Amino acid sequence: MEFFADYAGFLAKTVTLVVAIVVVLLTFAVLRKGRARASEGHLEVHKLNDFYKSMRQRLEASLLSKDSLKALRKREAKEAKAARRTEEKLPRVFVLDFDGDLKASAVENLRHEITALLMLATPQDEVVVRLESGGGMVHGYGLASSQLARIRQAGVPLTVCVDKVAASGGYMMACVGDKILSAPFAILGSIGVVAQLPNVHRLLKKHDVDIEMLTAGEYKRTLTVLGENTEKGRQKFQEELETTHELFKNFVARYRPQLAVDEVATGEVWLGVAALGKQLVDQLSTSDEYLAERAKSADLFHLRFAHKKTLPERLGMAASTAVEHLATKGWSGLNAQRFWQ
């Protein structure tokens, strides 16, 4: 019995210590959360030329003989010295990434990245956006497209690279580019608008459940989830969709006048090869191919605006990683994929 009493005392002390640590951490997290999130952000800048150069040099060191490698390095040093002597200033290419979700959440970082680069960029420079998005909410992607339009308005050439998908709101962003590059099997298009919602009114009515909805304004609510939808409400909702679609079409036509908008604004999607024929894109190329070529004659800078993660976010990421690791390990025989439609 004395053993169990000692163990219980030890367990109580341990639990008390753990609870105290959790309370301190939560308090610290709450205090940090009160700070303005924008002030915690910072811009990260990486020169991509160094990345390409290191890969090339590593490969050369593995393939060339010592004498050949020594001669190559000597020649490169001589060329670099000559370039410094002439003080030749290379054009700059600013590279941004946009990985879109339904809410276009990445626009929060994109807006800061664009603000930063526009402080230095000139018409002799270029902005390359590596874009991937299947679309989402109208207002979110409208804002994201407007951010890219700032680059065009500043007179800085804008190139959009699509390696996988730029559809619906994603293509709304892509069309702002002076030039759109697409991988051969990337998905593009879907210039259309869709909305759907369930309606459980008949189920509620079957169980004698009444829904009271009071509105001021004839069309404050057109379609609802709980109430009874009317034909008049459906027609109004459809009118709103058509209006939004017309704005979408006009936006695309403004930035890509070469398009036969009515032919491509049917909600259909095309692979890159077919999209080139429809003039939805200007060239077939992956972003890797394009940037590697640009690195030969320009200085490439990758910009990323990052927020300092709060303690709860870091704990959440750690937990998510652990769960993902366990799930992957436990279901190694399952190969499930989700396709955008």
The bridge status of strand 126-133 relative to strand 92-99 is: parallel
Helix (H) or strand (E) holding 128: strand 126-133
Asked if 238 and 245 touch (Cβ cutoff 8 Å), the reply is: no
Render 40-98 in DSSP notation, one character per residue. H-EEEEEEHHHHHHHHHHHHHHHHS-HHHHHHHHHHHHHHHHHHHHHTPPPPEEEEEEE
Residue 99: how many other CB atoms lie within 10 Å: 11
Tell me whether residue 168 is one of the annotated catalytic residues: yes
146 is catalytic: no
Cα separation of 214 and 94, whole Å? 52
Please pick, among 133, 168, 190, 287, the residue that the annotation labels catalytic.
168
- Out of 81, 89, 206, 220, the active site residue is 220
Q: CA 265 from chain center: how many Å?
A: 23
Q: What are the catalytic residues?
A: 168, 220
